[in-house]
Copies of this chain bind each other. A is one copy, B any other.
Amino acid sequence: MRAVDVLTLPGRAVRVGLAVDVAAFAIGSGRLKILLVRRGVAPHFDAWALPGGFVRAEETLEQAALRELRSETAMDLGSSHLEQLRAFDDPGRDPRGRVISVAHLAVLAGGLPAVHGGDAVTQAIWHDAHALPPLAFDHLRIAEHALHRLRIRLEYAQLAFEFLPPSFTLPELQAVYEAVLNRPLDKRNFRKRLLGQSFLEPLAERRSGPGRPARLYRPAGQPPDL
């Protein structure tokens, strides 16, 4: 690949800091959680924030997002869903000067992965996504934008599956919808709607526990196994 720092730009072209921030969601105890870090450096020392940081010259925005998640929270996104939201560019959003941040939405499968503080961060926690504390920079706006997009994707794409392991029961899927939308749904209507569109493929096995065992499903359109 071409060297990047020799990029020749027109005279007045930008020397702007480019950052990424990530709103990472997961489900824990039936509630929607968002990943927050406590900043260990200025500016906004000790404030809660979304994980994120500056993009390096040789990486894509997505790679930067993955790297920051790993270094700040010790969490590996693996094959989880990651999508770009938009750039936030309010002048004054960063007291250090002109920094534009490209926000991302991540969705973690299968509960709350362990996280802990790392580079430039003293803590990393999963916080209730419907009751956010004050956040550094414009991260509250970013988090709200991310939640909004998440809800749209839930209805519109099949993003709910991304919160779950490869196979799951319908009550588990319904719990995801309820956690993200933050309201209860009718069981019969939910099943009718989800099974009606053929996004789901029933599996032979069932999941047992207390009560009647539930049928397992997986997202349709996958090869039987791999």
Contact = CB atoms under 8 A, between A and B. Distances in A.
Nearest to A90: B60
A63 to B, nearest CB: 9
A14 B8 contact: no
Given A7-B17, A97-B3, A87 B89 contact: no
Identical chains bound together, number? 2
A96 interface: yes
A23 to B, nearest CB: 15
Given A60-B89, A61-B87, A13 B8 contact: no
Given A9-B54, A18-B18, 19 more contacts: A3-B97, A5-B15, A7-B16, A7-B98, A7-B99, A8-B96, A10-B53, A10-B54, A13-B56, A14-B54, A14-B55, A14-B57, A15-B57, A16-B55, A57-B98, A60-B89, A61-B87, A61-B89, A87-B87
